[in-house]
Structure 1
Amino acid sequence: MITKTVTLPNVADLDVEDAKQELRKVARKNRSKRSLQAREDFASTWVETALDFLGDAQVVAAYVSIKEEPPTLALCDAIAASGKRLLLPKLGPGLTRAWGWYTGAHDLDVLAPGRPPEPSGEALGPEVLSQVDALLVPALLIGRGGTRLGQGGGWYDRILKQIKGDARVGAMVYPDEVVDMELPQDEMDMRIPFVVLPEYWTSTE
């Protein structure tokens, strides 16, 4: 049961993009207050919960966390150790967004400033997403009906249009980032059917 959430400003009078920017500021500030120890304490708990969410999925797409994001490095190792194949975001030719297979933390490297560590292998195009059975996505906030506030790049919204219709999709957020409001959305935004918290996962409907 979530009993405390981040306090958000009233953005009802703003247009969608301005409203998103205001909410991002608050969400990022809230994350910045969480200590490194607190984030690390969540990491091991999240592994068991996320693996339960992924179930019998054989091919998983996820991400490597940076800064104050929910920690995923231990989870990446656990996904691979469970026998599943794991895809991670990777820069492709001409700085295009692509994917690479995870072979272990030793193979991850920061290849561009501000980017998360990525696998060193072949950069795979969006067609590889047809293999994905389950996808874990980052978010700053998850609201009513699975409305999602991301960092603003729109990449994951495009990905969600490219995966199989029966692929299981969950957003990883801290417990206080599930909010009782419908977040501002535009025509590009995709709703997330599940939220994966440290101690449990649940439907957003």
Structure 2
Amino acid sequence: MSAVAQPPSPADEVARRARPRDPSEEKDRLRRRIREQRAHRSARQRSEVAQRLADVVLTIPEVADARCVSVYASRPTEPGTSPLVEVLAARGVRLLLPVLGTGLQRDWAEYAGPDDLRERAPGRPPEPGGDPLGAAALADADVVLVPALAVDAAGGRLGQGGGWYDRVLAHVRPGVPVVALVHEDEVLGSVPRAPHDVGVTAVATPTGWRRLGPGAADA
């Protein structure tokens, strides 16, 4: 006869709650929730968000003064970057966009207009077709604009899970702002972090921007 499974004792339940939570599991749950929220936005809402976000980012002093900006071509459900990219390009700002390559290969290429962007594989963001410049080209950027699913006041950033930006941000010059672009409701009280996660120094949403992390209140 098989033994009857016993319910956990109160001591077992206390021990279970006391165990540190796995940040990877917390991240996955949060990613699913935010992706679902983003998928429910209409095309009209996404267009409005993209224009408002561009207006906000252009007020960041470092963006207004930048000669070179690292940005990205947004995916359909992300806060849109097309209006922002077009304004910066029209100003003559040099724009560096990610080139993903194979696996976690890190590279950049210059933006040469919307007709030059290609989606090279399903689910990947559009990429420029110009000559790759190498991972270290990010050191040329005066501002780095990065995608995120969520951020918190300490500068924690929740990405898509591939770790690409956690690796490329090692090439950012000291003092250069790294700005995450998200919706208003994606600025959270806290974001689960792992030791390898690289944070951001500011966040921009369609309603405004602010600096993050230690000393942000004095900036």
- Partners in 1 of 2:59 and 2:146 — Cα distance? 16
Matched, 1:197 2:215: no
The equivalent residue for 1:9 is: none
Other-structure match for 2:171:
162
- AA paired with 1:27? I
SS in 2 for 1:22: helix
Shift of 1:95: 7.6
Q: Which protein shows a greater Rg?
A: 2
Match runs of 1:145-160 below 5 Å = 145-160=154-169
Taking only aligned residues, the RMSD between alpha carbons, in angstroms, comes to 1.7
Number of aligned residue pairs: give it.
193
Instruction: Report the 3-state secondary structure (helix = DSSP H, G, I; strand = E; otherwise coil) of the residue aligned with 1:142.
Output: strand
Greater alpha carbon shift after TM alignment, 50-59 vs 145-154: 50-59
Aligned: 1:27 with 2:34: yes
CA distance in 2, matches of 1:109, 1:185: 32
Shift, 1:79, TM fit: 1.1
Q: Deviation at 1:13?
A: 5.6
Unaligned runs of 5+ residues in structure 2 are 1-18, 214-219
User: How many angstroms does 1:194 deviate by?
Assistant: 0.4
Q: Distance in 1 between matches of 2:206 and 2:149?
A: 15
* 1:146 counterpart SS class: coil
Residue type matched to 2:30 in 1? L
Q: Give the Cα separation in 2 of the matches to 1:68 and 1:94.
A: 23
Closer/same/farther in 2, CA of residues 119 and 142 from structure 1, 3 Å limit? same
- Contact 2:184–2:207 (CA under 8 A) maintained in structure 1: no
Is this contact kept in 2: 1:133–1:166, CA < 8 A? no
Structure 1: gaps of 5 or more residues: 1-11
Q: 1:51: which partner in 2?
A: 58
Q: Shift in Å at residue 55 of structure 1?
A: 2.1
- Structure 1 residue 113 displacement after superposition: 2.3
Question: Moved runs in structure 1, 4+ residues, more than 6 A?
Answer: none
Within 5 A, what are the aligned runs for 1:36-185? 36-53=43-60, 54-92=63-101, 96-180=105-189, 182-185=190-193
The letter for the 1-side match of 2:82 is: L
Q: Are 2:106 and 2:168, in contact at CA under 8 Å, matched by a contact in 1?
A: no
Tell me the secondary structure at the aligned position of residue 126 of structure 2.
coil
Query: How far is 1:175 from its partner?
Result: 0.6
The answer to whether the 8 A contact 1:144-1:183 is kept is no
The one-letter amino acid of 1:38's match is Q
For the structure 1 residues 51 and 37, does the alpha-carbon distance in structure 2 shift closer, same or farther, using more than 3 Å as the test?
same
**Tell me, what secondary structure is at the counterpart of 1:161?**
helix
Deviation at 1:159, TM superposition (A): 1.8
Determine if contact 2:184/2:206 at 8 Å carries over to the other structure.
Answer: yes
Per the normalisation by structure 2, the TM-score is 0.83
